[in-house]
Chain A
């Protein structure tokens, strides 16, 4: 097993499948009266969050607690970071407190990689800048496998702001490792030139959502980050919604079995309409539930044995 989880590309097909299989076992714990396993008793997991997050932080916290680990939550607001403490000094502080794993979210791409060189414990990337978010990709893959029964051979469209999306990058890497075919869809301004070839060979790019929809098993909508809306990547929010938003008529062009995913938080009416978000095809709530199981699997596989 690997020591850190920094990128969707860290995982080979066997390891990724092991995580998904373990997550399936962890999911059964959620249905029990006692939602607790003793596997990580006495281990300390630090959630180091330099960016706001609801579901990822809570999900990691719930995952660690269900495995009986001790959880320390750190958010940059209200910490010594506001006094100018560097990431390295913060990391060394955590090290001195005996953190066995550090779950880090940071606005700078690559921060978790740096951190991994400074601490002895395992580092889990919970989103770094516009780079990667590997546990999101794992939970997306888990959700696809749970709904559609397989990953190999699936056709997945990832739609929206690919340029700034760490979710898209991790998903392309992981899904192509697991044998799915990804098509990136969005306005040309939001899809980096050559990204498909650079991330994973076999990935396609399209600027026309309507032509892609009839041929996919999964359509994953990305959030349009509000702060980007005024940056002239597209003429107006309404135009974006008209061309790349998923609404009812577009959803009905999907094959019968296809599912709609969104990593959250959603901008209802922007990239996805309420009709789609609340339809039976939508897996948005399942994704949150599966997130806890997948993160339990990741923490167990990183910390459960003596893998140091």
Chain B
């Protein structure tokens, strides 16, 4: 999940922006995660990648693409919309529900790797685990994220992390991806410069 820069009042500070990963870095990181998945799953057999919208979806597709380039294995890719499983539905205006698309082979008995852009509080992943429970029974579930920024509120950790970014709660991490935003970039907003 991408969060907007934290709103702050006085004293007015210059909002700083720091590029953590540039376009080429993002691609290298995705390549590395793809290799790690292949290594840890013995060639990605019986594995399904499920992207969590919005930016987990293109990331899952890229990982599958890289895996097929490296080892010529076709990993099924799907989308898992978690809107209806969020624990903060009542705190916001009604959220639009997006599509959930499971691969044709389903997820029962498979190793499911959830893919998201930023791991923060862990609440998104909690919702994804609940959603997963309602659509099937995977043999196991793993988590791949492009960025882990810390500050977990639930006992959740990622199996594959592109980049650990130590942050303060006043800062925000924004991931942009070519498929959605036009460019690949990870930026840190609001840090003191």
A: residues with CB less than 8 A from B are: 1, 18, 21-22, 25-26, 28, 32-34, 36-39, 67, 300-302, 304-307
Q: Tell me the complex Cα distance, A237–B84, Å.
A: 49
Annotate B95-135 by CB proximity to A: 1 below 8 A, 0 otherwise. 11111100000000000000000000000000000100111
B134:A32 contact, CB within 8 angstroms: yes
> Which of A25, A34, A307 is within 8 Å of B134, CB to CB?
A34
Q: Contacts A34-B134, A37-B84, A38-B85; is A306 near B92 (CB within 8 Å)?
A: yes
A25:B93 contact, CB within 8 angstroms: no
Residues on A with C-beta less than 8 A from B97 are 21-22, 25-26, 300
Interface of A is mostly: loop
Residues on A with C-beta less than 8 A from B92 are 305-306
B134:A304 contact, CB within 8 angstroms: no
Q: Which of chain A's residues has its CB closest to B98's CB?
A: A25
Q: Is B81 an interface residue (CB 8 A)?
A: yes
How many Å from the CB of A28 to the closest CB on chain B?
7
> Most chain-B Cβ atoms within 10 A of its Cβ — which of A37, A302, A307?
A37
Q: Tell me the complex Cα distance, A60–B136, Å.
A: 26
> Which of B85, B91, B93, B96 is within 8 Å of A22, CB to CB?
B96
Q: Which of chain A's residues has its CB closest to B86's CB?
A: A39
Annotate B51-89 by CB proximity to A: 1 below 8 A, 0 otherwise. 000000000000000000000000000000101110001
Residues on A with C-beta less than 8 A from B136 are 33
Which bracket fits the contact residues of B? 20 to 34
Q: Which of chain A's residues has its CB closest to B101's CB?
A: A28
Residues on B with C-beta less than 8 A from A25 are 81, 97-100
A sample of 7 more A-B contacts (CB under 8 A), given A28-B99, A37-B134, A306-B90, is A25-B99, A32-B134, A34-B134, A34-B135, A36-B134, A39-B85, A307-B93
Q: Tell me the complex Cα distance, A25–B84, Å.
A: 11
Q: Which of chain B's residues has its CB closest to A43's CB?
A: B90
B89:A39 contact, CB within 8 angstroms: yes
Residues on B with C-beta less than 8 A from A302 are 94
How many Å from the CB of A65 to the closest CB on chain B?
14
Residues on A with C-beta less than 8 A from B96 are 18, 21-22
Residues on B with C-beta less than 8 A from A34 are 133-135
Q: Tell me the complex Cα distance, A307–B81, Å.
A: 22
Residues on B with C-beta less than 8 A from A36 are 134
Q: Tell me the complex Cα distance, A307–B94, Å.
A: 7
Q: Tell me the complex Cα distance, A22–B99, Å.
A: 9
Query: Can you report 21 A-B residue pairs in the complex whose CB atoms are below 8 A from each other?
Result: A21-B96, A25-B99, A25-B100, A28-B99, A28-B100, A32-B135, A34-B134, A36-B134, A37-B85, A37-B134, A38-B84, A38-B130, A39-B83, A39-B84, A39-B85, A300-B94, A300-B97, A304-B84, A305-B93, A306-B93, A307-B94
Residues on B with C-beta less than 8 A from A1 are 93-94
> Which of A21, A67, A305 is within 8 Å of B94, CB to CB?
A305
Q: Tell me the complex Cα distance, A36–B89, Å.
A: 16
B91:A300 contact, CB within 8 angstroms: no
Q: Tell me the complex Cα distance, A304–B133, Å.
A: 21
Q: Tell me the complex Cα distance, A71–B176, Å.
A: 43
How many Å from the CB of A34 to the closest CB on chain B?
5
Q: Which of chain B's residues has its CB closest to A34's CB?
A: B134
Q: Which of chain B's residues has its CB closest to A23's CB?
A: B97
Residues on A with C-beta less than 8 A from B84 are 37-39, 67, 300, 304
Q: Tell me the complex Cα distance, A34–B134, Å.
A: 6
Residues on A with C-beta less than 8 A from B133 are 34
Q: Which of chain B's residues has its CB closest to A305's CB?
A: B94
> Most chain-B Cβ atoms within 10 A of its Cβ — which of A25, A33, A302?
A25
How many Å from the CB of A273 to the closest CB on chain B?
39
Residues on B with C-beta less than 8 A from A18 are 96
Residues on B with C-beta less than 8 A from A33 are 136
Residues on B with C-beta less than 8 A from A37 are 84-85, 134
Q: Tell me the complex Cα distance, A1–B99, Å.
A: 20
Residues on B with C-beta less than 8 A from A300 are 84, 94, 97
